[in-house]
């Protein structure tokens, strides 16, 4: 008996067989993987630059990075990355690229990704985990706080080259 999850949208109801949903660490990538990752990045940030396959492969080969994806069958429908950085204060985890395909939101997949990344940071002996999130992403920000993340009163700066 498969677990079926249904969500009501303004334009109808979508039901999914959740038994085909799984979270796996992405260890290799091909052209289709890069296309799916780029499609999710566009949902996260419409101005996101396309990630070329060689760059994605370089991230996956980095021993201080873990890239996890949620798959529905063979298709990537969510993702998140954990980067480990050795600082003077200890090993820190940085979570990036948390996104679930808009057609799959509201089913707890973001929480599954976040819990996996938190567990992996703990297993790899990080003393803290940090992330940033656009304030306009109200659902995501609420989820991070429910998962125990504390909002910091700090400024984030970027210098592009």
Handedness of CA 106, 112, 118, 120 (dihedral sign): negative
Q: What is the mean pLDDT of the chain?
A: 90
Question: Which pair of tokens denotes residue 50?
Answer: 């396309």
> How confident is the model at residue 21, as a pLDDT?
87
> How confident is the model at residue 2, as a pLDDT?
47
7 pLDDT more than 70? no
d(CA 19, CA 94) in angstroms, rounded, equals 30
> How confident is the model at residue 144, as a pLDDT?
94
115 pLDDT more than 50? yes
d(CA 113, CA 80) in angstroms, rounded, equals 6
What digits encode the pLDDT tens for the residues 23-80? 999 999 999 999 999 999 999 999 999 999 999 999 999 999 999 999 998 999 999 9
106 pLDDT more than 80? yes
Distances (CA, A) of 125 to 21, 45, 86, 119, 129: 28, 30, 11, 10, 11
End-to-end CA distance of the chain: 54
Question: Which pair of tokens denotes residue 137?
Answer: 């992403």
Question: No. of H helices and E strands in the chain?
Answer: 4, 7
d(CA 122, CA 66) in angstroms, rounded, equals 13
How confident is the model over 69-93, as a mean pLDDT? Answer: 96
Going by pLDDT thresholds of 50, 70 and 90, the confidence category of residue 20 is confident
Distances (CA, A) of 113 to 10, 92, 120: 26, 18, 11
Largest CA distance in the chain: 54
Q: What percent of the chain has pLDDT over 90?
A: 76
Instruction: Confirm if 9 and 106 have CB atoms less than 8 A apart.
Output: no
């Amino acid at each position: 008996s498969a677990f079926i999850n249904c969500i009501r949208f303004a334009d109808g109801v979508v039901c999914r067989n959740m038994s085909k949903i799984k979270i796996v660490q992405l260890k290799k990538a091909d052209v289709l993987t890069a296309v799916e990752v780029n499609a999710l990045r566009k949902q996260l940030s419409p101005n996101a630059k396309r990630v070329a396959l060689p760059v994605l492969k370089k991230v996956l080969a980095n021993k201080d990075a873990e890239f996890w994806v949620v798959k529905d069958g063979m298709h990537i429908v969510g993702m998140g990355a954990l980067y480990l950085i050795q600082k003077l204060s200890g090993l820190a985890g940085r979570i990036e690229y948390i996104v679930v395909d808009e057609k799959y939101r509201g089913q707890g997949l973001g929480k599954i990704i976040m819990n996996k990344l938190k567990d992996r940071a703990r297993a790899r002996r990080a003393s803290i985990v940090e992330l940033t999130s656009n304030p306009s992403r109200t659902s995501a920000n609420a989820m991070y706080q429910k998962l125990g993340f504390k909002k910091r009163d700090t400024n984030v700066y970027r210098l592009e080259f």
